[in-house]
A and B are shown apart, each in its own frame.
Chain A
Amino acid sequence: MQTKYLIIGSSHAGLTAAEEIRVHDAGGSLTMLTMEDCLPYSPTILPYIVEGKVEEKLIYLRDEKYFQEKNINFLKGKKVVNIDAKASKVSLADGSEIAYEKLLVATGGNPTVPPVPGLKEANYLVLQTMEDARKINEVAKNAKHAVVMGTGLVGMHAAEALGKKGLQVELIRGRRRAVLPNYFDSDAGKLIHQVFLDNGINCDLDKHVKEVESANGKSKVVLDSGEALETDLLVVGTGVKPRIDFLGDSGIQADKGILVDNMMKTSVENVWAAGDVAQAADFYGKEKVLTGILPDASDQGKIAGLDMAGDKAVNLAFDEIGGQAALSYRGGVSMNTFNFYGNKSFSVGLSLANEEDGYEIDTMSLPTSCMYQKLVFDGDFLVGAVGINVTLDPGILVNIIRLKIDLKDKKAEFASNPLDMSRRIMWDSWRGAINTAG
Chain B
Amino acid sequence: MGNAYNTLVVYPEKCNGCGECEKACAKAKADSTDIVHSRIKVLKNLEDEYFGPVVCMQCGEPSCVKSCPAGALTKNPETGVVEWDEDKCVSCTICTLGCPYGGIYYNPLMSNVMKCDHCGGDPECVKVCEPKAIEYKTEANVYKDQGEREDLFAPGLAACLGCNMEILIRHTLRHVGPNTVLAAPPGCVPGIAVVGINGFTGTKVPSFHPLLTNTASMLAGVRRYYKHIGRDVQVLALAGDGGAADVGFQSLSGAAERGEEVLFVCIDNEGYMNTGMQRSGTTPYGSWTSTTPVGSSLPGKSGDQKYMPLIMLMHNCEYVATAVMAYMEDYHEKLEKAIQASKKGFAYLHVFSPCTTGWRYPQEKTMEVQRQAVATNTFPLWEYEREAEKFAFTHPVDNPTSMEDYIGMLGKFRHLSKEQIDHHRNTVATRINLLKAIAEEGIKPLKAAV
Contacts and interface: CB of A to CB of B under 8 A. Distances in A.
B429 interface: no
A339 B44 CA distance: 28
Interface stretch (A40-48, A116-124, A132-140, A350-358): A40-48
A337 B94 contact: yes
A48 B46 contact: no
A344 B71 CA distance: 20
Given A16-B66, A298-B66, A342-B111, A395 B92 contact: no
B116 to A, nearest CB: 14
Interface in B75-110: 87-88, 90-94, 96-102, 104-106, 108
A213 to B, nearest CB: 36
A59 to B, nearest CB: 5
Contacts, number: 117
B242 interface: no
Contacts of B88: 54, 58-59
Contacts of A298: 63, 66-67
B93 A337 contact: yes
Contacts of B50: 424
Contact of A58 (B47, B87, B93): B87
Nearest to A342: B111
Interface stretch (A85-93, A188-196, A199-207, A415-423): A415-423
Q: At the interface, is chain B mostly helix, strand, loop or mixed? A: loop
B100 A398 contact: yes
B84 to A, nearest CB: 14
A302 B45 CA distance: 39
A294 B93 CA distance: 12
B101 A295 contact: no
Nearest to B47: A413
B96 to A, nearest CB: 5
Nearest to A62: B71
A427 B54 contact: yes
Contacts of B41: 423
Given A59-B71, A393-B96, A396-B102, A417 B66 contact: no
Contact of B12 (A335, A393, A413, A427): A427
Contacts of A42: 69-70
Contacts of A399: 100
A348 B92 contact: no
Nearest to B89: A54
Q: At the interface, is chain A mostly helix, strand, loop or mixed? A: helix
Nearest to A348: B97
Contacts of B101: 395-396, 426, 430
Contacts of B69: 41-45, 59, 294
Given A335-B97, A420-B46, A294 B67 contact: yes
Contacts of B98: 295, 395
A339 B100 contact: no
Interface string A293-305: 0110010001000
A427 B52 contact: yes
Q: Which of B12, B71, B87 has the most CB of A within 10 A?
A: B71
A413 B47 CA distance: 8
B90 A61 contact: no
A344 B54 CA distance: 22
Q: Which of B44, B54, B94 has the most CB of A within 10 A?
A: B94
A12 B70 contact: no
Contacts of A45: 69-70, 90
A346 B90 contact: no
A312 interface: no
A275 interface: no
B222 interface: no
Given A59-B88, A430-B101, A12 B66 contact: yes
Given A44-B92, A391-B108, 4 more contacts: A54-B87, A298-B67, A344-B108, A346-B96
Interface of B: 12, 41, 43-47, 50, 52, 54, 63, 66-67, 69-71, 87-88, 90-94, 96-102, 104-106, 108, 111
Interface of A: 12, 16, 41-45, 48, 53-54, 58-61, 294-295, 298, 302, 335-337, 339, 342, 344, 346, 348, 389, 391, 393-396, 398-399, 413, 417, 420-424, 426-427, 430-431
16 contacts: A42-B69, A44-B94, A45-B70, A48-B92, A295-B67, A295-B94, A337-B94, A337-B97, A346-B97, A391-B106, A393-B105, A395-B63, A395-B102, A396-B102, A420-B46, A424-B43
